[in-house]
Structure 1
């Protein structure tokens, strides 16, 4: 991710920050579009099926897929953008739409409104791709952060399932410890819960957030220290894997490689749209529940675009790129193929049309997101420019805590100092 951040700074020098207009002429002959995304082989297979359907309806357009696992995707994308050779349709997430958009690498989608109809998408969904008053991206679908649980692991350990409406973080830790203590070696109550999303949930429950609305930081070092105190206790009690295994798992890409995906943990945090992949990998019927602490303070979960589709500002085929995105978000045939892999469709008509087509797992995801939408009304705070470095900083600081190279108190201060420097916060 460091390479991605460094290369992103080269955008202006490479011409992406220029005012040159992209090609807008009609193309009479064959057009090739490059379409990039991240994900595993299952996502690639679904996406290719949708591409094939699009190509059947647009015989003059060929779509060339470009995908990678999450860990390598953004470094590759930054390289192509800095070199002036980015894909025509780009999948983004997190703070990347703002970073790339503010540096001139993304098209204002109002320029292709004739080919891309956003009228059915609610404002709350479109806000995920709107920065500085410009619509740089379109949400692939809605998503929320959740806790996955494996009832089989609970049952075999003789541990009751948690009550999501009442449980606390203390209950979470005690439940994880009980599962590990009553399970065979190699089966854990939980994986290490540290992630940007889990931290933001925890911070919001405490009246804070990782970032502030004005582009600074809004989380206290003491809150971070409390978090890392908890995770250290999880490892010490055996509720979570030791440092070596946790570090190894952190570097793995897909759900099939996780403890949950291998049926070796009772609980693991994940995005709701990963539910089907985790269940398929584990072979067990899993459940999605609210994170701990949601009933003891203000709710920390939120609805967010799973991913964002954007168009490269220098594309030679803006209308065709817009037509592809329009197909992906507005066509029921595309939605029937992709299902909930990229979140619950934001277009309500499309969601209604595909309900009968959804698998049991996809219906679980849809119902969970709908249930979370009833109260998860906290504002979405997008990270400021420079915040794409935060994940790497978190991984480095968390590694220091894992291997007891720094204390939780030192970790809290280090995280705030390094992120503040990355985003230019005072």
Structure 2
């Protein structure tokens, strides 16, 4: 980690704008493995890595090759009442669609198949855009990367597989397939790819930013991260320039309120229905957790309680707290509120765990057998709440946390000019 005291304003150097608090700092050379951190909010600005963006391309191609067996091969087989049943990454979405749960089916298919394919393809497309020097194509591919990479949930899916197997171990013999090995390898490669990706490197490759003197107020492009004098269009990518995300607070409030409403039926209505020996057992999220506790599966119960109860409620409460402080112009504990925002952003996708468990269970516990499983309408409401909280997190501009009332008035005047 580099000494943050070096990141001070210099009137004759390349500059970086912190994406979290909008502080403009001077770029300093780093040794391989070192990172530069913002002196105000302590978030990473950039990192010096060994290798070039060609490493990103190699990882993306590897991921795309591994993606094929994850979609084609079964990752688990069970012997249920003498019948072998298998599940692949896409079979859960298909069975939900067959059962009439279209929204859940599309969400599972989107996270398990569409998003990974688009993320890997976008990296490859970015390199093709650099090769033909096409800025519009580069802008499109990086837009997809920026907005989709947080929806890559293979790690959450793997935990869901473990939970499903624990639930079924008393009813069936469980065998793992080659698809599971492919998913684990794909998750590892995806992790390496995502932590390396930095859209700045691609924009610098197609058009390096020139050294600029800090002679006045500079505006940061949210698309290509170029610092430039105040204007309406970016010099490098031609995107519209603005201080903050348009209508950020309003859009976030709408999503937060809608998510809070959706959480009510998500916790009241059954999330799963199990038919066993002619008995109909309906489980809400909490009753399912209590069933796991009664079965002495304390670890699984804790994981589901955290992902399905604590995380969604904490996200709604945390985002509401951030929004209220932004609207009040609270000038205290900004660094703490920034960490809260980043935590909310990171944990959001783990709420998908319950939905993945539902998708796996509906595939493995075959209809028409003595044991039958179907999702309840609580799962639909929960899926809506998960999606809304993730959209709300992306809608909120963290730079608003660092905006003080005097600075807000100054920027309004600059915008009007």
**Rg larger in 1 or in 2?**
2
Bigger proportion of residues as helix: 2
Greater RCO between the two (CA within 8 Å, min separation 6)? Answer: 1
Same fold (TM > 0.5) = no
TM-score between the two structures when normalised by the length of structure 1: 0.29
TM-score between the two structures when normalised by the length of structure 2: 0.29
